Structure 1
């Protein structure tokens, strides 16, 4: 999944907290949000940037929830972000992990043919 596809997918599923999102979908969307926030803040000011940030909050939460589902974890684990440093580190570590096979949240995102999933139960 490339940058444009990822951003479109996350914005289309902006309130879809069910399902799964692969690493490329999530991280490309995070990059897009950071770029948009930086540009809006630099060009239009902080007040407009706050409104843009508020508008992108729900898509960010939904994408984060789907990304955590991809690893078999509940989307509620995003609340770890309220714990300074330790919570952030754990959350970033989980969000950076590769996709696992089918789990309770679905089959998983489509992977390229040359990517092999780890066997179930392998850590």
Structure 2
């Protein structure tokens, strides 16, 4: 849960680096919350209102942590746009997001693993 809160504290920060664990824990919590909201919506008869509002609320933090995750592997945040290419772009982006951190400092900042 601390990783999810950390991403919200860095709400719209697009500088620096984010560890793999930070990114994927944020992704996991977003997935769980979205599933729970979908179940609640189906039970009370809403039509994607809660999940839509949650998706809008989490848009900037998701972009910010995605950019910082790409920075951690030595790539520009603009690589997020590769996901606009159907299927292949998404696969390439997932591979980038799964790669390990650059071991030393890079142009985007110090290695976050050094502080853990």
Moved segments of 4+, more than 3 Å: none
Paired residue for 1:27?
24
Partner SS state of residue 42, structure 1? helix
When normalised by structure 1's length, the TM-score is: 0.85
Paired residue for 1:50?
52
Q: Does 1:106 align with 2:109?
A: yes
Mapping of residues 1-123 of structure 1, within 5 Å: 4-44=1-41, 45=46, 46-100=48-102, 101-111=104-114
RMSD: 1.4
Q: What are structure 1's unaligned runs of at least 5 residues?
A: 114-123
In the aligned structure 1, how far is the partner of 2:50 from the partner of 2:98?
30
When normalised by structure 2's length, the TM-score is: 0.89
Equivalenced residue count is 110
Which fold has the larger relative contact order, with Cα–Cα distance below 8 Å and residues 6 or more apart in sequence? 2
In the aligned structure 1, how far is the partner of 2:114 from the partner of 2:35?
31
